[in-house]
Structure 1
Amino acid sequence: MAKGTTIRMWHRTIFMLIVMIVIGFGAVAVSLFRLQIVQGEELQTRAVDQYLKDTSINAKRGTIYDCNMKVLAESANVWKVVLEPAYITDKNRDLICTGLAEILDLDKNELLERSQKKTYYDVVKGKVETEIKDEIVKFKKDNQIGNGIRLIEDYKRYYPYGKFASSVLGFTGSDSQGLAGIEAQYDATLTGVSGRLVTAKNALGTDMSFDYEQRVEPQNGYSLVLTLDEVVQHFLEKYLEEGVVNSGARNRACGIVMNVKTGAILGMAVKGDFDPNDPFTLADPTEKAAVDALQGEERKKALNEARQKQWRNKCVSDTYYPGSVFKMVTSSMGFEEGVINENSPFSCPGYYIVADRRISCWKTAGHGGETFSQGLCNSCNPVFIQVGERLGPKTFFKYFEAFGFTQKTGIDLPGESRSIYYDENMGPVELATESFGQNFSITPIQMITGAAAVANGGYLVQPHVVAQVIDDDGNIIRTTDTTVKRQVISNDTSQRVSAILQQTATTGTAKNGYIAGYRVAGKTGTSEKIAEWIAQGKQGEKKYIASYCGYAPADDPQVAMLVFFDEPLRQNGQVFGSAIAGPPFAKTMSEILPYLGIEAKYTEEELAKLDTTTPDVRGKSVQEAQNTIQTAELEAKVYGNGATVVSQVPEPGKSIPKNGQMVLFTDEESASKTVKVPKLTGLTLSQANAAATNAGINISISGAALTGKNAVSNLQSIPEGSDVPPGTIVTVDFVELDSVE
């Protein structure tokens, strides 16, 4: 080969080597540029993510208080038990899994399997109480276990009063998220911001050669101060529950107590309800038995429906025909427009003809001639049909809308329903039926808000259940002020309607809600569930809703209350709001009003019938005790042969009817004497008094006996046949049987 050719080959080879080196270094340079400059920040983040492990630390959910700062819902410390498999060796694996299985009541074999995962973090049980946590800490200490088991602070929601106000409070889920009620409505406010625990770990999840752990503290959620008053709520729930039992209400019952001037909800309850500490368990045994009798998908569907029903707040989420309670609103319309006054004459033959319909009055024989005031006291349907005609559909609907019945109230609770109604183009039959509260559906919260406007001078106020939002230190973050949407009627109209409603509650159809001394303005309602009946082909039982809505004092209204019982059973052949809803209303308000500091003002007739208080005569001579009792306008009956009173019935300070009998025991033998409680229901007042006297007991009367002429006893506080000491006081409730609307 020629020398020149060889030289050229070497030149080409060297050139190619240079080119390859240049290309190689160029590729490396480009790659370095891409990795360091273009993707540098991203790769650095990914690298950090590979060795930094981030664990969430739950924030403490805010507390829910009543208006007096009594705790209604709070979050207490619990613990999350975490297994750290990367730290567990064959030497301590069995020890750790055996110990945790026993303490946490878990399967040991499952824990053994989980302990061999390629991870440093495996939650084996959450929401562990402090007592169990302490057992685990002791187990670790006793067995000198360092890493392998970790305890992370967590929180669990508690409702200290159980079922109390559950329909308002709602409940939280397993991750502490609000699922119903206030808990859901204010979830973002209550939740807070989770913290973080950042630690450095290698590929297996174990610690790096250097120590790194950073804790970002969680920010606790804000707390809520409600308008609910625990005492008011207690009275409401107590008598609402009693009313459900006595009436046999088959589709639950609800009650609302509202400050008429501010819209603050002082009490709101639904019966039957549920325990928010265990919300997924059916509280109604009948519902539970029906669901448990099913299987498969059918059972799953029925269970879900039953749970949704018990969680549903009937006060805001259900609509109903308000019935004659609505007549207070129609009355206000008529006065405000000047189409009626207190003495406007009407006639009721027992029905009224509208278009092609004959619409009956509840009193089929008719009320005859009556003024408007008498018509409202009699709850006469023909009177209110004629008031509706005088107003006309456009004016009627103008007020219907102004009272808030076409819009949600905007109460700060979830699930508020919309009303169903006819607009200003309604026909004459629709106008007639709506004028006395039928043929349209509203929610209970709409009805009591409208009633508050009738009571407070005509102002439609915004109902609300949260008064303040506060932080951990009690600093006020936000306050709910009174919001007046508009004035619907004049103060003059409000006062005139209230005066007639007071008369209605004293001597009219609403007198089963009468409370001595407190000047109640009230109205009953008995509404037919006509749509359901028609849907059933007008076959079977026609069902009703019995309600009572009122406020007090009538001359200066402070508090309004609505109670209604859905699908009650008939009592003495009746299913009317007066007999079913009136007594629970009266009992609740008779406790609420004095608690709220509202002064009683008794008439002379009421004072003559009021109970007195038993004096303390224990330790006195028999003669001295008899003189003291006589001075208190009571009678004395003595048992035993001793000279000194050793015990007495009723006890000192108990309420007893004037001219009632105190029983004095003068020796131990006489103190053991008992008498039997007689049957005290189904009687007039004089008959009940006679039965009590013959049995040697006292009765305390409540309900319509103070004002009603045809009052009959329907409940007694101590069952017939019970053995009690002589002189024991039995409370007997009376209802007025001619008050049927």
Structure 2
Amino acid sequence: MEQRLKIFVQVVKILLGILVIQCINLQVFHFSYYRRLSEQNCIRTIDLGIPRGKIFDRNGRILAEDKTCFHLVYVPYDLKEPETVASVLSSILGLDRRELLKELEKKSTNPFERRILKRDLTQSEIAAISEYAFKLPGVFVQAGLDRQYTLGTGACHLLGYTGEVSQEELDLLKDEGIKPGHYIGKYGIEKQYDQLLRGKSGGYQIEVDARGHQRRILKEISMVPGNNIILTIDQTIQEACINALGNREGAIIAMDPRNGEVLALVSNPSFEPLNVAKYLMSPYNRNNPFLNRAIAGQYAPGSIFKIITEIAALETGEIGEHDRIECTGSMEVGDRIFHCWKEEGHGWIDINQALPFSCNIFFGTVGMKLGVDKILEYAKLFDLGKPTGIDLPGERSGNLPSSEEAGGAINIAIGQGAISVTPVQLCTMISAVANGGNLWKPFVVKKIVAPDGKIIKEFQPSLKKTIFISDETLTILKRGLRNVVKFGTGAGANVPGIEIAGKTGTAQIAQKELGLPTRGAFACYAPADSPSIAMVVVLDEASSGQAARIAGSIIKRVFTSEETVSETTISETEQTQTLPSGSQGFE
């Protein structure tokens, strides 16, 4: 009996020893871990999001800013019956039950951290959630921030949008204080300058009961606002471009030819920056609404490229100002027939008539005199085939083909074949003509300003190069561009009292026999004698004459108080251009 008692005492001592060791382990070695776990269970941090700086136009008008609103949030730890919660929320908010359940059952790295289910609740939605609160344990209405864009879809490709950080982005940004559920810049200016626009998150530290309901606020964590950005954009010009383009697919970009400041940038189709998910689904995702056509749309320049051909021909002496070439409406080269857009031809003309009337036979003949290599040499002077370096994400370079891929001298001379350009490249090109040869780097951000008003950075114009063009060539070219608008193919852009100079360009999307429409473009500057604005209008399905009319209406709005011509008015006054048969029958 005594032996058994000794054994029992030893067992008790061992068990007590293990208990003491475990107590020491929990209370000393793992004290911090379990204290943190306990605090997370009764003390929660409510993150109100990361504030972002405002985005202004050049005149101080707000284009984007944060607004205070209410979000629907949930705490994974407190969510006991996700299927019931999903059903209730689906019925009162009209949300998809399966999508809700998928979100509610998503694994979280921190089950005590609140996650957003729906942003920017309406008053009626808040009332409905309050009414059914007893069926929604772990679900709350919480104050927060949301982004507001003054021009809505009209500046979406320029300003961009914000979105919830992805896991891949979180891995890259976790050292910058970014947490799951935070919003960052995803597109446009919001993405390009995200780090500068982002402030520091704030919120509250609260004590909760066993059901997760708030009992008291323990500490307030102040938000740190982000930096503000002042753009080179002029809201008045931006709105004029939006109104003039209407619902047409295409792009408009305007810049100051004296320094490269972008004054307006519009692309269609557009998207709602606060409802991006909608445009990822059919039918809204047709025709690529997220493509910024102004900087990433790659188009054949058409007859706008004749500006390059004329400069090359005059500078090399291949033609003189008064050298004449006969246009009969077509020309035969080998086994191919090339057509002019004017079936009956232009007759005997020199460069002073050929550019305003955009004669394909004249410029095709000049192209054969120059040869492909010389034409491409002058195109390279204007940096065609290279990104302009504009401070927006997603710019494409277009394509300046090799001599072998160009498709022949006639094609390249009139801006057809394998060559493609972006509207922003055409805008820098026409700007260089307008200012006498300076090729400026286009830019959209003018200043970065701290919340206290201190200027963090001011961006200066950047001159990429100066292209030498003789005064005689510039005089002939500028006179021709002015005549394009006075009595030529760009007469639709003519505005009484404002001298506009420009060049039209039309290209077929495919063979005329397929019955497909044309792409129309117009590159211009004004006033012709002292340019302060250069502009390119590209329409995916229209004529160059319609593009010219749109440009004219915008310039009229810029220099006068009259409103821009609407898209409907323009489409009614001029039908899409009909082209003669043949692979080269375009202006």
What range describes the TM-score normalised by the shorter chain of this pair?
0.7 to 0.9
- Between the aligned partners of 1:733 and 1:124, the Cα distance in structure 2 is 50
Q: Cα 1:353–1:487, aligned 2, differ >3 Å: closer, same or farther?
A: farther
1:157 to 117, 141, 147: 147
Q: Deviation of residue 436 (structure 1)? A: 0.8
Q: Cα 1:165–1:34, aligned 2, differ >3 Å: closer, same or farther?
A: closer
| 2:467 is the counterpart of 1:488 | yes
Partner of 2:544: 577
CA contact (8 A) 1:388 1:431 kept: yes
Deviations 1:296-355 (A, max 9, x none): xxxx9644633x723332222221111111212222233333433422333333334445
Q: Deviation of residue 259 (structure 1)? A: 1.0
Partner of 1:91: none
- Structure 2: which amino acid aligns with 1:554? A
Superposition RMSD on alpha carbons, in Å?
4.8
Q: Deviation of residue 522 (structure 1)? A: 1.4
Partner of 1:237: 242
1:470 to 442, 449, 464: 449
Q: Which structure has more RCO (C-alpha within 8 Å, separation ≥ 6)?
A: 2
CA contact (8 A) 2:339 2:360 kept: yes
| 2:385 is the counterpart of 1:406 | yes
Partner of 1:223: 228
Partner of 2:376: 397
2:264 to 247, 264, 267: 267
SS of the aligned residue for 1:581 comes to helix
Q: Deviation of residue 200 (structure 1)? A: 6.2
SS of the aligned residue for 1:422 comes to coil
- Between the aligned partners of 2:461 and 2:68, the Cα distance in structure 1 is 36
Q: Deviation of residue 594 (structure 1)? A: 3.8
Q: Cα 1:393–1:216, aligned 2, differ >3 Å: closer, same or farther?
A: same
- Between the aligned partners of 2:484 and 2:283, the Cα distance in structure 1 is 45
- Between the aligned partners of 1:75 and 1:207, the Cα distance in structure 2 is 26
Partner of 1:253: 250
SS of the aligned residue for 1:173 comes to strand
- Structure 2: which amino acid aligns with 1:158? Q
1:522 to 502, 509, 530: 502
- Between the aligned partners of 1:716 and 1:150, the Cα distance in structure 2 is 50
TM-score (norm 1): 0.60
- Structure 1: which amino acid aligns with 2:306? K
Q: Which has the larger radius of gyration?
A: 1
Q: Cα 1:106–1:371, aligned 2, differ >3 Å: closer, same or farther?
A: closer
- Comparing 464-473 with 351-360, greater Cα deviation is found at 351-360
Counterpart mapping for 1:427-506 below 5 A: 429-439=407-417, 440-490=419-469, 492=471, 493-506=473-486
Task: Give the number of aligned pairs.
Answer: 530
TM-score (norm 2): 0.75
1:276 to 250, 265, 273: 273
Q: Deviation of residue 43 (structure 1)? A: 7.3
- Between the aligned partners of 1:424 and 1:214, the Cα distance in structure 2 is 70
Between the aligned residues of both structures, percent identity stands at 27
Partner of 2:399: 420
Structure 2 gap ranges (5+): 1-5, 80-84, 105-110, 165-181, 580-585
- Between the aligned partners of 2:116 and 2:209, the Cα distance in structure 1 is 22
Q: Cα 1:419–1:122, aligned 2, differ >3 Å: closer, same or farther?
A: closer
Deviations 1:224-278 (A, max 9, x none): 222221211222222222xx6xxxx6xx132222111122221222344344344
CA contact (8 A) 2:356 2:480 kept: yes
Deviations 1:67-86 (A, max 9, x none): 21222222110124567899
- Between the aligned partners of 1:212 and 1:509, the Cα distance in structure 2 is 71
Counterpart mapping for 1:247-396 below 5 A: 252-281=249-278, 302-303=282-283, 305-306=285-286, 309-396=288-375
| 2:195 is the counterpart of 1:188 | yes
Partner of 1:127: 119
Partner of 1:587: 553
| 2:512 is the counterpart of 1:512 | no
- Between the aligned partners of 1:124 and 1:734, the Cα distance in structure 2 is 50
Counterpart mapping for 1:694-733 below 5 A: none
- Between the aligned partners of 1:566 and 1:435, the Cα distance in structure 2 is 22
Q: Deviation of residue 733 (structure 1)? A: 9.5
CA contact (8 A) 2:44 2:112 kept: no
Q: Cα 1:219–1:403, aligned 2, differ >3 Å: closer, same or farther?
A: same
Q: Deviation of residue 558 (structure 1)? A: 1.7
- Structure 2: which amino acid aligns with 1:160? T
Q: Deviation of residue 470 (structure 1)? A: 2.1
- Structure 2: which amino acid aligns with 1:562? V
Q: Cα 1:557–1:279, aligned 2, differ >3 Å: closer, same or farther?
A: same
CA contact (8 A) 1:224 1:468 kept: yes
Q: Deviation of residue 384 (structure 1)? A: 1.8
- Structure 2: which amino acid aligns with 1:547? A
- Between the aligned partners of 2:261 and 2:319, the Cα distance in structure 1 is 33
SS of the aligned residue for 1:164 comes to helix
Q: Cα 1:154–1:363, aligned 2, differ >3 Å: closer, same or farther?
A: same
CA contact (8 A) 1:583 1:735 kept: no
SS of the aligned residue for 2:521 comes to strand
Q: Deviation of residue 448 (structure 1)? A: 1.4
Q: Cα 1:495–1:39, aligned 2, differ >3 Å: closer, same or farther?
A: farther
- Structure 1: which amino acid aligns with 2:263? L
Q: Deviation of residue 37 (structure 1)? A: 9.2
